[in-house]
Amino acid sequence: MALMKRVFLFLTVNIAVVLTISILVNLLGIQPYISARGIDYGALLAMCALWGFAGSFISLQLSRWMAKRAMGVELIDPERPGGAEERFLVERVRSLCQRAGIEVLPEIGVYQSPEVNAFATGPSKNRALVAVSTGLLQRMDHQAVEGVLGHEISHVANGDMVTMTLVQGVVNTFVMFFARVLAFAIDNALSSRDSDRRGEGLGRFGHFMMVMLLETVLMLLASPIIYWVSRKREFRADAGSAKLTSRQTMIHALESLAGARVGATQAAPAVATMMIHGEPRGLWAKLYSSHPPLEARVAALRDGVIE
């Protein structure tokens, strides 16, 4: 149930972004795609792409701020770390960033949670945040923590937040596009059903509500695409950590996570796809899971499937 709660929150945020954009477009009366001859599909697609990608990139720019507040992250001053654990985190992150070719040290933080997890987020390689849970620090040894940090630094080095933003922008674009095409078709079908109602159709408010409903449904149906890309990025980040540290270090980290799990990730939607692990169970959960099973990730590293 915890995983499904996280999935619900992630989908809710994505749907909310699209619906907010649609409400704004409607209030501003921006409908350059409708003419006396019907829909101009090129103009509609251009408008949907503009607003769909705008929403995704706004979320990306706010990702660090949202993550810090949603997760209660306490930042570590890299020049004056408070204790042995903080010094270890700063030294490891700095070393891994140098190996990964990241010039600017990410913000480093810790958040209070019994879960054994970590995440990375941020709009670019040089404006990133890497955070670990107190549960991870308490229940994992330094080798495992290094593997986890390598995984998160790989997310940063690979530009995975930008990749996921682009994917979300594409999904937003086509969700908005097809919702309007279908709403227009339904409107025309209703208005032409009998001569007494010709020209009325759904009405302006009804048309708007139909677009909202269709966007919600289409976003739910399209979200597995986002999660599929996320799962692929997890395998790549594991491989990246294996190169930054060692294959055995990353395998040890994943096996330690498997042995220390205390429940599914209770991550904020803004960072759920950049966490180190989740717990997909069952077909429905797998379709809407941002992470592959830990066992599959260990097997991929052992078999050298991801290089």
**Catalytic machinery residues:** 152
Q: What are phi and psi of 132, to 5 degrees?
A: -125, 155
Rama region for 38: left / alpha / beta (φ>0; ψ in -120 to 50; rest): left
Closest CA to 25 of 56, 51, 53: 51
Pull the structure tokens for residue 219.
């976003």
Cβ proximity of 117 and 264 under 8 Å: no
Q: How many helices and strands (H and E) does the chain possess?
A: 11, 6
- Give me the residues paired with residue 38 across strands: 35
**DSSP string for residues in 220-288:** HHHHHHHHHHHHHHHHHHHHHHHHHS-HHHHHHHHHHHHHH--SS----TTTGGGBS-----HHHHHHT
Q: Is residue 153 within 8 Å of residue 161, measured between CB atoms?
A: no
Contact 275, 119 (CB under 8 A): yes
| Residue 148 near residue 116, CB atoms below 8 Å | no
Give the total residue count for the chain. Answer: 307
The two tokens of residue 139 are 């229940």
